[in-house]
Amino acid sequence: MKKLLTFVLIVMLACLFLDKISGSGSDMHMQFNGDDVDGPLEWLFGLVFAGGGLLIAAIAVVCAAVITGVVLAGVGVVLIAVVALCVVLALALSTPVLLPLLIPVAIVWLIVSRNRKQAQARQHSL
């Protein structure tokens, strides 16, 4: 990665150097209040305005990320609550259907628990 970054930096600097040597670097014109700005002031204004635009864009992206995180967290909490409500509702609606299945399960559970209590009582009496 370091070699690629170094290569790209060298190519960019070479392009900038060739642009300055060829004289075509003066294609850019900046106007401020209707007057052409020339010389180092043109570069200074270009850097300030470009940097300011990048700073504003970075602040906007950070704000959008924070707002998106807060909104999605809130939506996630609401979705979890809705899913829990749907599960409770589904269980409440399926209880009459499951009742014939629960009666044999309850009988088996009572028999097993009674046998377990009797086995424990025998162990304690020995």
pLDDT beyond 70 at 22: no
Residue 114's pLDDT is 93
Other Cβ atoms less than 10 A from the Cβ of 37: the count is 16
Question: Measured at the alpha carbon of residue 31, what is the angle toward residues 26 and 32, in degrees to the nearest 5?
Answer: 140
Smallest Cα–Cα separation from 38: which of 19, 53, 25, 52? 25
Q: Is 83 a residue whose pLDDT tops 90?
A: yes
**Tens digits of residue pLDDT in 95-124:** 778 788 888 889 999 999 999 988 888 888
For residues 3-9, give the mean pLDDT.
Answer: 87
Chain mean pLDDT for the chain: 82
pTM of the model: 0.39
Q: What pLDDT is recorded for position 19?
A: 66
Q: What is the pLDDT of residues 24-82, one digit of tens each?
A: 555 566 677 887 776 666 667 777 777 788 889 999 999 999 999 888 888 888 999 99
